[in-house]
Chain A
């Protein structure tokens, strides 16, 4: 069941000029599943804007919620959040959403994250590794450059600690081609499970590419922003 809460902005971490993590301190535990999102109610220009943000932190840190966002040119919601001072409150409801992973699937699991699309993938990946079934776990992280892969140090540490896990960077513009090469053309295995997140048309492009190649519809889960 979703709840309505007020979070307090406790910390801000900049990942680059226009990408930022906001850490919200909650008054109570939020019982969510890795991959779910919160819905922020932002008072902007006399209206209440509703903006969804994936929870980039794990349920185990449930009173300290991390959201990850880009400053969207002309976007009133992201401009409001980027302008918030520490200590400000954010009214939110949640958790919401059916894009989640509670346990590692009994199959090779492939996460495809484009840019800030890694936000919901991060807690899903952690959960997949914590409940690992011995099947490989892969992450393809697309970004403008290798240095702009978010949570890069954490991904490297996870790969060291969990041998079934490997991650790779690909340039954003090459993501569809790389996915096709690795998971469609290379072999006839269609037992993999995919979790895809990103902004814009890349997400349905990847969904359609994989489903048309023979992966089951429900084996290809996605969230498009």
Chain B
């Protein structure tokens, strides 16, 4: 089973998700088996205004550990990330980064602005 540890800048308690990458897709948005796919299927809301189609940066996450276990990024993702607020060297778009390795251990950090981008959604 792959393990995805999810940390939140907002201070929300960490979540640990164990899942079998071979069973992807887990829901209907983002690339099958992507961080977005896994998070949404486990009740963690990650904004994805473009529907998880690599056309915006609203699902920006920072990979703290396990970058090597994620699918590579293409030009379209890199071009979008260039415009993401709070860009780091290990930033990825949640809709594009796919966890394929069944033994992967990934830690992702969800920036505050990734969670709360709509005015009126609580502060």
Contact call A3/B118, Cβ cutoff below 8 A: yes
What's the least CB distance linking B73 to chain A, in Å? Answer: 14
Main secondary structure of the interface of A (DSSP, over half): strand
Closest partner residue, chain B, to A94 (CB atom): B49
CB < 8 Å neighbour of A52 from B28, B53, B75, B120: B53
A86 within 8 A of B: no
CB < 8 Å neighbour of A97 from B48, B51, B55: B55
User: Chain B residues near A4 (CB, 8 Å)?
Assistant: 118-121
Given A50-B48, A50-B49, A98-B80: A1 in contact with B55 (beta carbons within 8 A): no
Chain B: interface residue total (CB-CB under 8 A): 24
CA distance A3 to B53 in the complex (A): 20
CA distance A218 to B48 in the complex (A): 24
* Chain A 1-22 near chain B by CB (<8 Å), digits 1 or 0: 1111000000000000000000
Chain A: interface residue total (CB-CB under 8 A): 25
What's the least CB distance linking B84 to chain A, in Å? Answer: 8
Given A47-B28, A52-B56, A223-B55: A96 in contact with B120 (beta carbons within 8 A): no
Contact call B49/A2, Cβ cutoff below 8 A: yes
User: Chain A residues near B118 (CB, 8 Å)?
Assistant: 1-4, 93
CB < 8 Å neighbour of A37 from B50, B117, B121: B50
B76 within 8 A of A: yes
Main secondary structure of the interface of B (DSSP, over half): loop
Contact call B50/A39, Cβ cutoff below 8 A: yes
A136 within 8 A of B: no
Closest partner residue, chain A, to B52 (CB atom): A50
CB < 8 Å neighbour of B76 from A3, A217, A224: A224
User: Chain A residues near B53 (CB, 8 Å)?
Assistant: 52, 225
CA distance A130 to B76 in the complex (A): 30
A51 within 8 A of B: yes
Closest partner residue, chain A, to B74 (CB atom): A204
B58 within 8 A of A: yes
Contact call A3/B120, Cβ cutoff below 8 A: yes
B23 within 8 A of A: no
Instruction: Supply 15 A–B pairs (Cβ within 8 Å), ascending by A.
Output: A1-B117, A2-B49, A2-B118, A2-B119, A3-B119, A3-B120, A37-B55, A47-B28, A52-B55, A93-B49, A93-B118, A98-B56, A218-B82, A222-B79, A225-B53
